[in-house]
Amino acid sequence: MKILVTGGAGFIGSHISESLAIKGHEVIIYDNFSTGSEENISKLRSMENVRIINGDVLDYDKLCACMKGVDVVSHQAAQLEIGSAISDSLTDARLNIEGTLNVLEAVKRTRCNKIKVIYASSAGIYGEAIKTPQDEEHPKRPQWPYGVSKYAGELYCQQYSILYGMRACGLRYSIVYGEREWYGRVLTEFIKRVALEGKPPVVFGDGMQRRDYIYVGDLVDFHNLMVEEDWDGFEAFNLGGGGSITIKDLANLVIDAAESGMEPLFEDPPEGGYSKVTGRWRIPRELKVLELDIRKAMSRGWKPMTELKDGIKKEIDWIKSNPKRWSVKRRV
């Protein structure tokens, strides 16, 4: 099959692109490299079945030009930072809503009933958990503009399915981690301090906030299942690790995986304030619980295979071999 991956040089997109290329598919990586990295796709440049295009999802004409003969569009390109979405909601909306509309319009204009669209949605669409685990029917009450823009993109996928017969699915990612992850989220903060700097991780509050983590390789496995499968209309799937962990326990898990023998530090900056230890910003409207019900995805014959500690160890080994990748300003 011929598959277009927007954001194909990013953290998740590069793993998807690499996996599809290894399987023998013809892969078009479409990325503007604003956050995607050449290093993420360095191994793919020499592959004859991979084409790399420097392009932006806001460039509708360029997107249309890339759609010829495409069987599947994996739309991974997005503005991902919660903090950036809060400080500049207009840019977040342009990239995540207008960018998604451009992708859908390009598909409609080219081969509407022939191309499948796999859309990278987010667990951020749910907001604070009313019940746990959160299934696909859980109320959608996003805490931040990022969740609003991702849900809007999903609703447009559904509308294009209803109006034009487009086949689309939304994959609602929990917190994705693994090799090539960008620096700024809490797990990367813990790993950098413990494994690279030899310092204890800093936990905000009492550390009892619960989070759901999925290893990037497990996510890719379900994504590729949807590449091969067929369906009608629009479908949404939660993709998580099958449980949740407290932030306090996550810090200790990193310590164990790095075999450092230290203890976490606890600090309680106000929401929207900054750590006096690390300078890290604490997100406003912080979720108490994020835990996804993944039974619908599992009904397709998939399940997450990577234990959190094992996945963290893989990420630690990767960043120790590539420390410069996180010698950058944190993205929040």
pLDDT digits (tens, 9 = 90+) for 155-171: 999 999 999 999 999 99
Catalytic annotation, residues: 146
List pLDDT tens digits, range 174-187.
999 999 999 999 99
Write down the pLDDT at residue 81.
87
- Do 200 and 221 lie in one domain? The reply is no
> What CATH number should be reported for the domain holding residue 206?
3.90.25.10
Strand partners, 163: none
Q: What is the CATH number of the domain that holds 164?
A: 3.40.50.720
pLDDT in the model for residue 113: 75
- Is the predicted pLDDT of residue 20 greater than 80, yes or no? yes
Note the pLDDT tens digit of each residue in 83-97. 889 999 999 999 999
CB 220 within 8 A of CB 171: no
The answer to whether 8 and 30 have CB atoms below 8 angstroms apart is yes
Q: What pLDDT sits at residue 134?
A: 98
11-22 vs 216-228: helix axis angle to the nearest 10?
Answer: 50
Same structural domain, 199 and 235? no
Backbone dihedral region for residue 125 (phi beyond 0: left; psi -120 to 50: alpha; all else: beta): alpha
Residue with tokens 């990767």: 318
For 97-142, the pLDDT digits (tens) are: 999 999 999 999 987 678 999 999 999 999 999 999 999 999 999 9
pLDDT number for residue 111: 76
- The answer, yes or no, to whether residue 329 has pLDDT greater than 90, is no
Q: Based on the fold, state whether residues 129 and 195 are members of the same structural domain.
A: no
Q: In sequence order, which residues have a C-beta less than 8 Å from that of residue 46 and are 6 or more positions away? A: none
pLDDT digits (tens, 9 = 90+) for 200-220: 999 999 999 999 999 999 999
pLDDT at position 323 is: 96
Q: Same structural domain for residues 191 and 106? A: no
pLDDT for the residue 114: 86
For residues 121 and 186, state if they share a domain. no
- For helices 308-321 and 247-258, angle between their N-to-C axes, nearest 10 degrees: 60
pLDDT band at 143 (very low <50, low <70, confident <90, very high): very high
If asked whether residues 145 and 257 sit together in one domain, one would say: no
121 and 7 in a common domain? yes
227/221 Cα distance (integer angstroms): 10
Q: What is the pTM of this model?
A: 0.96
**Mean residue pLDDT across the chain:** 96
**% residues pLDDT > 70 (the chain):** 100
Domain membership of residue 262 as a residue range: 182-211+244-292+305-326
Q: In total, how many domains does the chain have? A: 2
pLDDT tens per residue across span 31-55: 999 999 999 999 999 999 999 999 9
Q: What is the pLDDT of residues 66-81, one digit of tens each?
A: 999 999 999 999 998 8
